[in-house]
Chain A
Amino acid sequence: QKEVEQNSGPLSVPEGAIASLNCTYSDRGSQSFFWYRQYSGKSPELIMFIYSNGDKEDGRFTAQLNKASQYVSLLIRDSQPSDSATYLCAVNVDDMRFGAGTRLTVKP
């Protein structure tokens, strides 16, 4: 079983819709969870991090964490074409472990 798993994608949503990205992790000792956005050919950039169960909102982005289900998600409201990128879920135990990424395409 992979340490961090993401839905494979690609995920395509129309402009203005909500994009939902999901991630599960295997290590129950994981304490911190991150979502990164990576444009093609570029380095990842941090969008959100979350430590506690529940929701955390930042602008159009909402991260949701459920430690009992070992599940973390990222919702993007009012999706824009500029949100088109690969979204990486990362989980930190002793070091950072990344999921394979979900490619999101927002169509105008």
Chain B
Amino acid sequence: GAVVSQHPSRVICKSGTSVKIECRSLDFQATTMFWYRQFPKQSLMLMATSNEGSKATYEQGVEKDKFLINHASLTLSTLTVTSAHPEDSSFYICSANREAEQFFGPGTRLTVL
């Protein structure tokens, strides 16, 4: 199956710092990638849809200035959590579509102290 990677897998940072998470499709080109957030014991919540070469589409309630998304190429999307706070601590997962299937990255666990 297709492979989607994320980096880093785990990050711990101080409150107020910015954290960048990378999502790569390793063996296919993805014009669209998705960013999800998952709090403990809860389901995935779609944050935004990342479109190559254009602005991301954010879900209602997601602050676009806080969660910056850049989809600069067909294989790379980045999510930057700006001025992170403890309430941003979560598991962030990206995914990419290839044909009719959606492939998930391994996730990034963010802990903001």
Interface residues of A (CB under 8 A from B): 32, 34, 41-46, 49, 88, 95-101
Number of residues on chain B facing chain A (CB within 8 A): 19
Q: Find chain A residues with CB under 8 A from B93 CB.
A: 43-44
Q: How far is the CB of B91 from chain A (nearest CB, A)?
A: 8
Instruction: Scan B21-44; emit 1 where CB is below 8 A from any A CB, else 0.
Output: 000000000000010000000111
**A43 adjacent to B46 (CB under 8 Å):** no
Cα–Cα distance between A40 and B3 once the two chains are bound (Å): 20
Does B8 sit at the interface, judged by CB under 8 A? no
Q: Which of B46, B49, B100 makes the CB contact (< 8 A) with A32?
A: B100
Q: A98-B44, A99-B43 are in contact. Are A49 and B100 (CB under 8 A)?
A: yes
Q: A32-B100, A49-B101 are in contact. Are A96 and B46 (CB under 8 A)?
A: yes
Q: List 25 A-B pairs, Cβ < 8 Å.
A: A34-B102, A41-B109, A42-B106, A42-B107, A43-B106, A44-B44, A44-B93, A46-B101, A46-B102, A46-B103, A49-B100, A88-B43, A88-B44, A95-B34, A95-B46, A96-B34, A96-B46, A96-B102, A97-B46, A98-B44, A98-B45, A99-B43, A100-B42, A100-B43, A101-B43
Q: How far is the CB of B45 from chain A (nearest CB, A)?
A: 8
The residue on A at minimum CB distance from B93 is: A43
- Tally of contacts, chain A with chain B, CB under 8 A: 38
Cα–Cα distance between A100 and B109 once the two chains are bound (Å): 19
Q: Find chain A residues with CB under 8 A from B107 CB.
A: 42-43
Q: A95-B49, A98-B43, A100-B43 are in contact. Are A44 and B34 (CB under 8 A)?
A: no
Cα–Cα distance between A49 and B98 once the two chains are bound (Å): 14
Interface residues of B in 85-105 (CB under 8 A from A): 91, 93, 95, 100-105
Q: Find chain A residues with CB under 8 A from B100 CB.
A: 32, 49
**A43 adjacent to B34 (CB under 8 Å):** no
